[in-house]
Amino acid sequence: MGVTLKDIAFTLGLSPSTVSRALNDHPDINEQTRKSVKQLAKKMNYQVNKMASGLRTRKTYAIGVIVPKIASHFFSSVLSGIQKVAGSNDYQVYICQTNESTKQEIKYISSLMAGSVDGILVSLAKGSKNLKHIKQIIDGDMPLVLFDRTSDQFKVPKIEAEDFKGAYRAVTHLIEIGCKKIAHLAGPDNLGASHNRLLGYKQALIDNKIPIDEKLIIPCDFDPEKGREAVRNLISGPIDIDGIFSVNDEIGVEVILALQAMGINVPQQVAVVGFGDFPICEIVMPHLSSVMHNPYRIGYEAAECLFDQINSSQKGKNFRHIIPSQLVIRESSRRS
């Protein structure tokens, strides 16, 4: 099938070397030669064989992305952003799904490290605590960017949603509408994102002189079922809560459904705010207030940051890039 450099060279009476240079815009090449080569290449529908050029140049023209789950609103949007940037750099994207398994994460990383990509983007599995495999990427001089589910252990670029401030705003808002006892359904604490949301929650309470009650902070591990359970316990127990800030919208939505199933009015008795601004916020009744981050942009900027490293062959600096978030107030926290 394939048209090769040799074919073009033969047709034009040139050497493959010259054709290669012409196509790669090498400065030495005669303008006329370059033109005719490019013209013929186009006419013959020549496409460079990436395996061959990759073998020669030690470039793979591919990046790897490690995500916990493809089939989620957040990560599939992030992936869109990554695709966009990769496409315009003429790179392919290998998507690896860990299903929240550290074992899978390790496996994928060692496979990617075996020379199949030029750089790696990682969003950690929620259970990943021993992070030797991440260190391995850094030690192997492979460009790396962490996004969303990051870890402070590593001095590499991290792209995150504005988790702390977003959570802070959400909780401040709950306080402003009159909530005095606000529970937080928290995510896994080893992940940057959920940790920072928890810190934002606490800070908002502190700044408003509301005492922090550890019994109101319930780890839900991103599991909606645990969210329902937490609500049942919170309500049946002795504590009289009047507001809930949930680490994400999936849990937030379940919270609303669970409260309603118990005959509790949202937002009058308990107001609810989630995080993510997923489409489901506008489907549940009452609509769920939420912190809007921008997954597409998180992916976009993470990829740009990775390509900066790949193209400059400079190590990624240790910085944290925060994508702004914004509180979207809906009926679940609007009191008349």
Partner DNA sequence: CTGAAAGCGCTTACAG
Name the site residues for a copy of itself (rule: CB under 8 A). 1-2, 45, 47, 49-52, 54-55, 60, 62, 70-73, 75-77, 79-80, 83, 92-95, 97, 110-111, 114-116, 140-141, 253, 257, 279-280, 283-285
As a whole number of angstroms, the distance between CA 215 and CA 261 comes to 23
Which partner, a copy of itself, DNA, none, binds residue 14 by CB below 5 to 8 Å per kind?
DNA
Q: Give yes or no for a contact between 335 and 268, defined as CB atoms under 8 angstroms apart.
A: yes
Closer to DNA by Cβ: residue 9 or 303: 9
As a whole number of angstroms, the distance between CA 202 and CA 250 comes to 22
Q: Give yes or no for a contact between 230 and 185, defined as CB atoms under 8 angstroms apart.
A: yes
CB of 249 to a copy of itself, least distance (A): 10
Which partner, a copy of itself, DNA, none, binds residue 23 by CB below 5 to 8 Å per kind?
DNA
Which partner, a copy of itself, DNA, none, binds residue 236 by CB below 5 to 8 Å per kind?
none
Four-CA torsion 319, 321, 322, 324, nearest 10 degrees: 150
Q: Is the backbone peptide bond immediately before 267 cis, with ω within 30 degrees of 0?
A: yes
Say whether 244 sits in a helix, a strand or coil.
strand
Which partner, DNA, a copy of itself, none, binds residue 60 by CB below 5 to 8 Å per kind?
a copy of itself
Between 3 and 22, how does the x/- string for binding to DNA read (CB under 7 A)?
Answer: -xxx------xxxxxx-xx-
Using rule CB under 7 A, residue 44 touches DNA: no
As a whole number of angstroms, the distance between CA 297 and CA 129 comes to 27
As a whole number of angstroms, the distance between CA 244 and CA 231 comes to 9
Closer to a copy of itself by Cβ: residue 73 or 232: 73
Using only C-alpha atoms, what is the Rg of the chain?
Answer: 25
Return residues touching DNA (CB under 7 A): 2, 4-6, 13-18, 20-21, 23-24, 28-31, 33, 46, 48-49, 52-53, 55-57
